[in-house]
Amino acid sequence: MTTASMTATVAESAAASLPLHNVFVYGSLLADEVVNALLKRMPPCSPAILNGYHRYGIKGRVYPAILPVESKKVIGRVIKGVTDAELHVLDAFEDEEYKRSTVEVFLNDDSGELFVETYVWANKDDPKLYGEWDFEEWKELHLKDFLSMTEGFVKELEQLELKTRVATYEAYYKKL
């Protein structure tokens, strides 16, 4: 066994023993391109339903918010096997507008229910929330620009520029 392959095996073993997270996503992170830009890989995903929540549009934003609403449900997916470092990237991306919470989702692949992390809108009384957010419409109208903004956010994060995702978002969309 070569030194390089031994190092790779040790690294893989260490990574396998790290705690991994499952994250329910319901907005821009439904797009593989956005997840890949943020995490530099595309982890396995499963379609899922979050009962007791509603996905809203937000005036002045192209991404959605969720809040608890009885008798509603949000269709999304669970990103599986997220590392601690990747979860920190997602936390930075979701910024102070969202609060990471543990929720229970139903997996559509018949593997039952699962407790996962998700990002819930922090201001439950926000007057900017309205109606229902539509992923297919977002993909058609906003994916290209949002992906470009996300790539800029990642570059700033990698350069340790302490600009929030909201600041990056606002600066990017002011240029358009």
List, for residues 53-103, the tens digit of each pLDDT value. Answer: 999 999 999 999 999 999 999 999 999 999 999 999 999 999 999 999 999
pLDDT at 15 over 60: no
Q: Which fold has domain 18-175?
A: Hypothetical upf0131 protein ytfp (3.10.490)
Catalytic: 137?
Answer: no
Q: Which of 86, 94, 97, 117 is catalytic?
A: 94
**Which residues are registered as beta bridge partners of 84?**
none
Instruction: Give the count of alpha carbons within 13 A of 91, CB side only.
Output: 12
Domain definitions of the chain by residue range: 18-175
The distance from CA 154 to its chain's CA centroid, rounded to whole angstroms, is 14
This prediction has a pTM of: 0.83
Look at residue 170 in the predicted model and tell me its pLDDT: 79
Average pLDDT over residues 141-151: 96
